[in-house]
């Protein structure tokens, strides 16, 4: 059998998806934010993961691929206003902290897992809308597709932003190269806007830069030391890419967002769903291996 799904009982039940033909493997933990905790191809780990933080439910997860909803980034004082009322939402929203339900398993054309998340009384205290999310993780060969579906069950239009926060495992960040289709950047640390020079200063204590608007539906992180290139492709309404890294930590995040920080207040690039409307989106990560001349550039 080429495609298989197994279940491992760790601190949380962990679903293991394998494509034996490409020796690729994906680990998913529905109970902890529907997060992808691991992705390997031919034994090579592609994702950073902080197991100690993951073991403590009071801490946000550092690693894997967390889901961001209904905001990306943070809000000033964690507050936004809707219909004249203030609500509190912590950074990146609540989807990455809540348990998701397993709705289906797929083993026909790739190996996949379908997860769902519905609004609750607790989420409505922070975000006063009735929503339903459905994410399908599909692993096939050297690619990981994440199909997303957002439905508004409210009686009013529902604004939201969504994104993914992949932590790519990188042990030598200064040698990274990027192909990012944007000319402007906003430094989240200094709140300054400027031209995107095409590279980042990974010798700094922290890099936290948003790049928008994106002019193509594809971007890449090139890692010559590990001889690989990770290409990220995304559909509408994705509009923003964020690069985040911290000195001394073996990760670099290249994150697709549908809207920049504080969008629930600024309304910048927000997605609005009419009552009863469903919107679909897709993000795909594809791994390829570098040719000799690309590796030699470093």
Query: What are the pLDDT digits (tens) for 212-266?
Result: 889 999 999 999 999 999 999 999 999 999 999 999 999 999 999 999 999 999 9
Q: How far apart are CA 100 and CA 83, in angstroms?
A: 29
Residue 187's pLDDT is 95
**Backbone dihedral region of 294: left (phi > 0), alpha (psi from -120 to 50 degrees) or beta?**
alpha
192, pLDDT greater than 70: yes
Residue 297's pLDDT is 41
Tens-place pLDDT, residues 47-58: 999 998 888 888
Confidence of residue 296 (pLDDT cuts 50, 70, 90): very low
- Exposed e or buried b per residue across 77-111, where buried means at least 16 C-beta atoms within 10 angstroms of its C-beta: eeebeeeeeebebeebbbbbbbebebeeebeeebb
Q: How far apart are CA 202 and CA 195, in angstroms?
A: 18
The verdict on pTM exceeding 0.85 is yes
The rounded percent of the chain whose pLDDT value lies above 90 is 91
298, pLDDT greater than 50: no
* β 101-106/111-118 pair status: antiparallel
Confidence of residue 293 (pLDDT cuts 50, 70, 90): very low
Q: How far apart are CA 182 and CA 180, in angstroms?
A: 6
Beta bridge partners of 79: 88
Confidence of residue 59 (pLDDT cuts 50, 70, 90): confident
Tens-place pLDDT, residues 131-185: 999 999 999 999 999 999 999 999 999 999 999 999 999 999 999 999 999 999 9
Beta bridge partners of 86: 81
Residue 56's pLDDT is 87
Tens-place pLDDT, residues 74-112: 999 999 999 999 999 999 999 999 999 999 999 999 999
Residue 10's pLDDT is 86
Residue 292's pLDDT is 55
Return the domain boundaries, the chain: 3-171+224-233+267-296
Report the Cα 142 to chain-centroid distance in Å.
18
Judge whether 49 and 34 are in contact, CB under 8 Å.
no
Residue 241's pLDDT is 98
128, pLDDT greater than 60: yes
2, pLDDT greater than 80: yes
Mean pLDDT of 30-41: 97
Confidence of residue 295 (pLDDT cuts 50, 70, 90): very low
Q: Does domain 3-171+224-233+267-296 have CATH number 3.40.50.1110?
A: no
Mean pLDDT of 111-126: 98
CA 276, 267, 192, 95 torsion-angle sign: negative
């Amino acid at each position: 059998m080429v495609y298989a799904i197994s279940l491992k009982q760790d601190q949380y039940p962990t679903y293991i998806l394998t494509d034996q033909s490409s020796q690729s493997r994906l680990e998913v933990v529905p109970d902890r934010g529907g997060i992808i905790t691991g992705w390997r191809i031919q034994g090579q780990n592609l994702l950073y993961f902080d197991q100690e933080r993951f073991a403590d439910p009071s801490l946000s997860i550092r690693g894997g691929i967390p889901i961001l909803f209904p905001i990306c980034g943070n809000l000033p004082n964690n507050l936004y206003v809707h219909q004249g009322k203030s609500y509190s939402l912590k950074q990146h929203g609540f989807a990455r902290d809540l348990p998701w339900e397993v709705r289906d398993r797929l083993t026909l054309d790739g190996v996949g897992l379908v997860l769902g998340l519905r609004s609750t009384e607790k989420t409505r205290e922070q975000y006063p809308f009735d929503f339903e999310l459905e994410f399908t993780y599909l692993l096939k060969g050297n690619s990981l597709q994440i199909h997303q579906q957002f439905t508004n069950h409210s009686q009013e239009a529902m604004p939201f932003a969504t994104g993914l926060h992949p932590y790519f495992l990188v042990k030598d960040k200064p040698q990274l190269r990027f192909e990012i289709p944007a000319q402007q950047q906003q430094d989240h640390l200094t709140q300054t806007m400027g031209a995107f020079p095409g590279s980042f200063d990974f010798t700094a204590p922290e890099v936290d830069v948003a790049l928008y608007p994106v002019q193509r539906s594809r971007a890449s992180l090139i890692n010559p030391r590990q001889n690989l290139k990770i290409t990220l492709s995304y559909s509408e309404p994705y509009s923003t890419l964020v690069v985040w890294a911290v000195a001394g930590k073996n990760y670099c995040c290249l994150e697709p967002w549908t809207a920049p920080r504080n969008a629930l207040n600024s309304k910048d690039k927000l997605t609005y769903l009419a009552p009863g409307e469903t919107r679909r989106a897709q993000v795909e990560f594809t791994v390829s291996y570098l040719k000799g001349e690309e590796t030699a550039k470093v």
